[in-house]
Amino acid sequence: MRRKIYLVAGANTISMGTGRKEFNPKKERPGLENYIHEAGQAVLKQVPNPSAIDETVIGNFMAAVFNKQGHLGGFAATIDPDLEFKPSLSVEGACASGGLAIISGIRSVMAETADVVLALGVEVQNTVKAIYGADFLAYAGWFQNRKKSHAYFFPGQFSDRAGAYYEKYGFDNARKGMGRWFRNAIENARLDPTAQEHHNTATDLEGLYHKMTPNGKNFVDHLNFFDCSKVSDGASGILIASEEGLKKLGVPCKDAVEIVGFAQLTRNITSDPPNPLDLTTIRKTAAKALENAGISIEQLGTIETHDCFSIAGILAVEALGLAAPGEGAAYVAAGKTARDGAMPMNTTGGLIGWGHPTGATGVHQAVTIWQQLTGNAGAAQIKLSPAKPYGLSINMGGDDVTVVAIVYKMCDE
């Protein structure tokens, strides 16, 4: 990194949708603008001098269809009048839009065109039934292939990956790991009051999971509903700052985390994944980010990974090299990714537990890592060893097409 970059003042709205007690699909709910305002304000309130913000980047995937709204950069000034007549733009890379918002901010600060950038991610998806939302989310794939794809496009894509995994490494072995992934997600979400599954009180989560056999007649062949992240409305925000920027904001370094490396790679959207058992882009992007940061995976204290589906969690474990190919399910089943495991992952629930407001997810992941590394995670706080002061986030857009990986470090001071 040619300049020291910090993240500070992370904030999330509630991830709203089925599972939250206050969610009522029949009643009018807050709109896109409310989420942007709420998350933005929650960030600004944490710093003594919010007028130091030079620029805003908003990550969003499909507001143009979910909310009939494009041109989201124009909403920055609704957060605070001070943000008007400053640079503001939106970025899109499917479900990696949030991650792209953060690295856009990082680049701007590195390029010295800004000292402080407000990065937001937002998505409001409960405006349509899931069956139509599936059409919109499918725009993250190549539309020319849509005709032959599944009604539930992404579950269909990852069901194929799960099917290949079952075939090669055994159904029971895989489901055991996936069921444990689900359990971890819900248990972690219960500890975060903004999580969509915060109110989930089900006992024996793995028992519940295994009771529902995948049924291709109603859904997809190889996944059940518990394998999937839900439809969510939500926004997250965080500030990206240089050393100078932190000073301008009036924030001490101890309240921030340092970005020590990142990478963003994209695979050809018009081709099928080279190997259904390998999240190739995630593997390459994570390796590059760690290389850029100059650390090894053993130095990580926690990871946020993009578990839009439980199988994506298992495959990410393998792509990161935490387990050998085919051994990811057993690694997870053994509790190694649990909050008290060898490598705590998705400590506020991840996409399955916390929620998946698509364009917000990459920012939410950064907020979670920032919370954990600064001791701000509340009930969800995990114990981190000073020997492992790093965190990693993996944000994926489409079926392993666009990936953003960011490496974070506790502040030295």
Report DSSP letters for 15-52, one per residue.
-BSTTSTT--TTS----HHHHHHHHHHHHHTTSS-GGG
Shortest spacing between CB 42 and another protein, in angstroms? 35
Contact 253, 286 (CB under 8 A): no
Shortest spacing between CB 159 and another protein, in angstroms? 12
What is the identity of the amino acid at 101? A
Q: Residues 288 to 317: which contact another protein by CB under 8 A?
A: none
Q: Which range binds another protein by CB under 8 A, 40-48, 217-225, 294-302, 400-408?
A: 217-225
Q: Residues 87 to 106: which contact another protein by CB under 8 A?
A: none
Spatial distance between the Cα atoms of 177 and 338, rounded to a whole number of angstroms: 12
Contact 270, 35 (CB under 8 A): no
166 lies in the binding site for another protein (CB under 8 A): no
What is the number of other CB atoms lying within 10 angstroms of the CB of residue 136? 18
170 lies in the binding site for another protein (CB under 8 A): no
Please give the structure tokens belonging to residue 53: 């913000």
Spatial distance between the Cα atoms of 370 and 11, rounded to a whole number of angstroms: 10
Residue number with CB closer to another protein (26 or 147): 147
Residue number with CB closer to another protein (146 or 168): 146
Q: Which residue has the tokens 């990161």?
A: 320
What is the number of other CB atoms lying within 10 angstroms of the CB of residue 271? 9
Shortest spacing between CB 161 and another protein, in angstroms? 19
324 lies in the binding site for another protein (CB under 8 A): no
Residue number with CB closer to another protein (132 or 225): 132
Contact 402, 264 (CB under 8 A): yes
Shortest spacing between CB 146 and another protein, in angstroms? 5
Q: Which residue has the tokens 């915060």?
A: 198
Shortest spacing between CB 125 and another protein, in angstroms? 15
Shortest spacing between CB 215 and another protein, in angstroms? 10
64 lies in the binding site for another protein (CB under 8 A): no
295: left (phi over 0), alpha (psi -120 to 50) or beta: beta
Q: Which range binds another protein by CB under 8 A, 95-103, 192-200, 215-223, 363-371?
A: 215-223
Please give the structure tokens belonging to residue 71: 């041109």
Shortest spacing between CB 27 and another protein, in angstroms? 16
Contact 386, 373 (CB under 8 A): no
Q: Which of 213, 217, 340, 386 binds another protein (CB under 8 A)?
A: 217
Q: Residues 360 to 379: which contact another protein by CB under 8 A?
A: none
Shortest spacing between CB 273 and another protein, in angstroms? 22
Shortest spacing between CB 128 and another protein, in angstroms? 9
Contacts of 334 (CB under 8 A, 6+ apart): 341
Mask: binding to another protein, 126-165, rule CB under 8 A, as x and -? ---x-xx-xx--x----x--xx--xxx-------------
204 class by beta-carbon count within 10 Å (0-12 exposed, 13-18 middle, 19+ buried): exposed
> How many residues lie near another protein (CB under 8 A)?
16
349: helix, coil or strand?
coil
Which residue ranges make up the site for another protein (CB under 8 A)? Answer: 129, 131-132, 134-135, 138, 143, 146-147, 150-152, 216-219
